[in-house]
Amino acid sequence: MSRASGLYRLQEIDLENDRLKGRLEEIRITLDDSAEITQLRADLAAKESALATVQAASTRAENEVEDQRLKIQNTEQALYGGSVKHPKELEDLEMESESLKRHQDTLEDRYLEVMLEQDEAEGKLTQSSASLEVAESGQASQHVELVTERESIDNRLANLEAEREVALASVSKQDQDAYEGLRTRLRGVAVIVLNGDSCGACGLTLSASSRQLVGSGDELIRCTQCGRILYGG
């Protein structure tokens, strides 16, 4: 095994390790992110509050209509019950009765409006509750899949750690240090496979002598343009 091939195998392990750890972070964020659910729950709470408000208004309006009906009943009982004899008092009672009836019409109209508002509020609450239920169900299904994927990734990472130990056994400390330094500087890709006679990363064409040295594998040959270790494949 050439020096570059040992580092290339190590890099394949490290790149897969990086990718899987990145995916684990994505899963963690998704599992922790309940912004949509939080918003839907807040919306449901607002709809419940709105319905409670209109229900209270409906109860008040209904009570006002009933109170007005009783006032009219008492007034007409006095008007037609025979207990009042004086014409002026009878005239006043008749005027009061008509006024009470007009106000009752207003109260009944208001009660009808509030009942319509209540129906609308109940409809919005039902819709909001259904949206939350769908979102929570979908999130639960998604979370089951993500937790399963996370467990699979954890197992694969454990295997990669063992594979890395095996790969390191064929790499000298000097080459490992060079590789780690390049990985840090070059976004994880320290070793690159040749594309014909060119660097597979930056496209620089190698001289014949450099190509021969890369092929021999006895030395670590680095691209003079991007600095990566070249591997013949």
The pLDDT of residue 90: 73
Lowest mean pLDDT among 66-80, 99-113, 124-138, 172-186: 66-80
Please state, in angstroms and as integers, the Cα–Cα distance from residue 126 to each residue in 41, 101, 123, following that order.
13, 37, 5
Backbone angles phi, psi at 214, to 5 degrees: -60, -40
Rounded Cα gap, residues 5 and 107, in angstroms: 90
- Tell whether 152 and 190 lie within a shared domain: no
Q: In this model, does residue 168 exceed pLDDT 90? A: yes
Domain-ending residue, one of 168, 194, 223? 168
**Mean pLDDT across the chain, nearest whole number?**
93
Domain with 145 in it: what CATH number?
Answer: 1.10.287.1490
- Tell whether 153 and 177 lie within a shared domain: no
- Tell whether 18 and 103 lie within a shared domain: yes
- Tell whether 113 and 194 lie within a shared domain: no
Domain that holds residue 181: 173-231
How many Cα atoms occupy the beta-carbon half-sphere of 132 within 13 Å?
16
Is residue 113 included in any domain, yes or no?
yes
The one-letter amino acid at 79? L
- Tell whether 94 and 42 lie within a shared domain: yes
- Tell whether 85 and 195 lie within a shared domain: no
Is residue 3 included in any domain, yes or no?
no
Is residue 55 within 8 Å of residue 120, measured between CB atoms? no
- Tell whether 143 and 41 lie within a shared domain: yes
- Tell whether 138 and 191 lie within a shared domain: no
Instruction: Give the global pTM.
Output: 0.65
The pLDDT of residue 83: 75
Cβ-proximal residues to 43 (8 Å cutoff; 6+ apart), any chain:
128, 131, 132
- Tell whether 179 and 120 lie within a shared domain: no
- Tell whether 145 and 182 lie within a shared domain: no
Helices (H), the chain: 3-32, 35-80, 87-168, 173-185, 208-216
What share of the chain has pLDDT > 90, as a percent? Answer: 79
Collapsing DSSP to helix, strand or coil, 218 comes out as coil
- Tell whether 131 and 197 lie within a shared domain: no
Number of domains in the chain: 2
Is residue 2 included in any domain, yes or no?
no
- pLDDT bin (cut points 50, 70, 90) of residue 74 is confident
Please state, in angstroms and as integers, the Cα–Cα distance from residue 122 to each residue in 49, 50, 125, 132, following that order.
11, 9, 5, 15
Nearest residue to 57 (alpha-carbon basis) of 121, 11, 7: 121
The pLDDT of residue 84: 66
